[in-house]
Every structure is written in C-alpha cells, then in structure tokens.
Structure 1
Amino acid sequence: MKSINTFWNWFQENNQTIKNLINETPKNQKHISFWINKNLSYYCKEIDFMIVFPKIGNTKSELIITANGNPEHFNQVIDLVDNAPQLKNWKFTAFIQPTERIDKITDGFDEPFIFHEITLKASELKFLTLDYDEETQKFDIIVFLKNYHFYCDTKTLEQAVFIIIQDILGENSLFQNINFVQLAQMPDNNEDLIHLYDFQMFIDSLNIEN
C-alpha cells in the first residue's frame, strides 16, 4: 500500500502538468512521460499507462493503467486503480477497454491502423477457432488477413494484429478467452469465416449454449 500511495501522491502533485502534456513540446512530452513511467515502475515495473485526452474542453482526461496483457499483473493494476484519488479533472481506468467505435467497424467505416509499413482495417479481419483448452477455457484462433502474403515477413505484423484484437475486445476479454493467435492469408472463399469484431458475440453465444 505504501508504494501505491507514493505513486498517487506524486501524481496528485503533478497532475496539472500531466494534464497539459498534449500541449507541450515533443521534448517536454518525452520528459514528462519518462517521469510518469519512472514513478509507476517504483510500484510495479511490469505495468504501463496510456493517457486519453478529452476532445471537448473542460472534460476529464483519462489515465489507463494496463498490464500489457500479462495476467500475472492484473491484481497490481486493479489495486492501483482501486486506490486512485478523487480528482475532478481525471478519470482512472483499469485495463484497456473495448473500443466504442464498434458500429463503425461493423459498417466498414473504421479508420485503418497504420504500423510503420503495415496498414490494416479491423473490419477486414476474420477468424476461425483452432482449438479450445478446457482447463484454461481459452481458444487458439487463426486470424485471416487480405494481404498476409505481402506482410508475412514483417516483424511487426503479429504485434499489429494483437493491438487490433485488444482494441476490439479490451485487455481483460482478450486474455480471458484467447491463448494463441496464428495468422494466415484470407482465402478467396471466406463466407464461412467469422468477422473478428464478432468474437465477443461468438464467446457469449457459447456461454448461453452451456
């Protein structure tokens, strides 16, 4: 608890500077981010943060604490956020949450994710299950991409797909339900494949049947 309080005490003292991060020069942004990460690491080196700044003036900024997908550190994330202070200009959230843009994705109007040389749209990804582990209650899945043959030698491809899955499902659901992800080229006949944005619906339907 001492290290939790130490982080939040530091955050409270510096919260106005952090809230103004987006308006700083790149050099100052890097400096401020370094100290956020440094103070967070005093509590737990394996967790990370994201800041979501408000699009409308005078609304709250959001500090998201993430375990970077490592379930071994989920409790540290929860404990930290549970002990967050009440600050009128801040919202504190445990884990990366599912996207609120799901309607745009299902309609195919989503903006593409751009990772260096890779461009992917979440609405164009499909999947099938490979295996189900009854002990862990997790699936191995295969994700199909239209341009897999073009990107398959790119080192960041798996990471890019992982980020998209996390954005669609949220951090918690991803690591509760998915064990392994394999990538493959989208076949010409893909009508029997499931859209990746329907994965949560797929899981929910199984729970209903059981």
Structure 2
Amino acid sequence: MRKINTFWNWFQDNNQTIKNLINETPKNQKHISFWINKNLGYYCKEIDFMIVYPKTANGKCELILTANGNPEYFNQVIDLVDNAPHLKNWKFTAFIQPTERIDEIINGLDEPYIFHEISLKASELTFLPVEYNELSHKLDIVVFLKSYNLYCDSKTLQQAIFIIMQDIVGEKSLCQNINFVQLAQIPENKEGLIQLYDFQLFLDNLNGVELNNYFLKMWKTVR
C-alpha cells in the first residue's frame, strides 16, 4: 500500500505536466514518459501505461494501466487503479479495454494497423478454434490472414496480431480466453471461419462441449 500511495502522490503532484504531454516537444515527451515509467516501476516494473487524450477541450485524460496480458500482475493493476485519487481532469482504467470503434470494423471502414512493413485491417481477420481446454476454459485458435504468405517471415507479425486482438476483445478477456494463437493463410474454403471482431460474441454463445464437437469438425474442412 505504501508503494501505491507513493506513486499516486507523485502523479498528483505532476498531473498537470503529464496532462500537457501531448503539447510538448518530442524531447520533453520522452523525458516526461521516462519519469512516469520510472515512478510506476517503483511500484511494479511489469506494469506499463497508456494515455488517451480527450477529443474535446473539456474532456478527461485517461491513464490506462496494463499488465501487457500477464495474469501474474493483474492484481497489481487492479490494486493500483482501485486506490487512484479523484482528479477532476483524469480517468483511471485497469487494463486495455475493447475498442469503441467496433462498428467501423464490422462495416470494413476501419483504418489499417501499420507495424513497420506490415499493414493489417482488423475487419479482414478471421479465426477458427482448434482446441478447447475444459480445465482452463481457454482456446487454441488459428487466425487467418489474406497476406500471411507475404508477412510470414516477419518477426513482428505475431506481435501485431496480438495487439489487434487485444484492441478488439480487451486485455483481460484475451488473457482469460486464449491459450495459443497460430497464424495461417486464409484458405480457399472459408466456410465456418469467424470474423475476429465476433470473438466475444462467439464466447458468449458457445460452451466447451459445442466448441469441441462442432468447431473441431469445422477446422477439418479448411485444413
């Protein structure tokens, strides 16, 4: 608790500087970010942060605290946010939440994610579950890409897919429901493939028995 209070006391003292980060020069932005990481690291080195700035002048800045999908540090994130101060111009959030742009993705109007040489649209990604662990309640899935053969040698591809999935379903849901992700070129027979943006809907409507009996059979159709 002492380390939690130490971080939030520092944050309160510097919150106006952090709030103005977006208006600083790149050099000053790097300097301020360094000190946020430094003070956050005094509490837990495995926790990172994101700042989302408001679209309107009267909106609140949002500080998102993330464990980068590592469940060993979920409690530390929750404890930190639960003890956050009440600041007029700030909102504090535990974990990366699902995107609010889901309608854009569903309608194919989403902007592509750019990762170095890789360009991917979330609306074009599909998946299929291949195994369901009834003890852990987690899935092994295959994510299909139109451009897998183009990017398959890139070391960035797996990380890029993880970031997109985290953005679609949220950090906590991704960790709690996914065990392993395999990547593959989208097959000619697309029957049974599920849009990645429907992942949460898929979880909400199917139980473990149906997963094993039905979707394993569907997996055979596209192999």
Alignment TM-score, normalising by the size of structure 2: 0.92
Give the whole-Å Cα distance in 2 for the aligned partners of 1:188 and 1:55.
42
Which residue in 2 is equivalent to 1:86?
86
Taking a change above 3 Å as real, the CA distance of residues 7 and 22 of structure 1, as seen in their structure-2 partners, is same
The aligned residue for residue 197 of structure 1 is 197
Identity %: 77
* One-letter amino acid of the structure 2 residue matched with residue 176 of structure 1: Q
The count of corresponding residues between Structure 1 and Structure 2 is 210
Distance 2:157 2:113 in 1: 11
Number of the residue aligned with 1:15:
15
**Corresponding residue number in structure 1 for 2:181:** 181
Q: Deviations over 1:154-209 (max 9, x none)?
A: 01000000000000000011011000000000112213210001110110001599
Q: Secondary structure at the match of 1:150?
A: helix
Aligned to 1:152: 152
Q: What's the CA shift for 1:123?
A: 0.4
Q: Which runs of 4+ in 1 moved over 6 A?
A: none
Could you tell me how far apart the structure 1 residues matched to 2:139 and 2:201 are? 14
Cα distance in structure 1, aligned partners of 2:158 and 2:186: 15
* 2:56 matches 1:61: no
Q: Which amino acid aligns with 2:180?
A: F
Of 132-141 and 200-209, deviating more is 200-209
Q: Secondary structure at the match of 2:141?
A: strand
TM-score by length of 1: 0.98
TM alignment of 1:23-102, pairs within 5 A: 23-102=23-102
SS of equivalent residue, structure 2 residue 206: helix
Stretches of structure 1 lacking an aligned partner (at least 5 in a row): none
CA RMSD of superposed structures (Å): 1.3
Partners of 1:164 and 1:81 in 2: how far apart?
24
Counterpart Cα distance in 2 of 1:19 and 1:209: 49
Return the alpha-carbon distance in structure 2 between the equivalents of residues 31 and 133 of structure 1: 45
Q: Distance in 1 between matches of 2:191 and 2:55?
A: 39
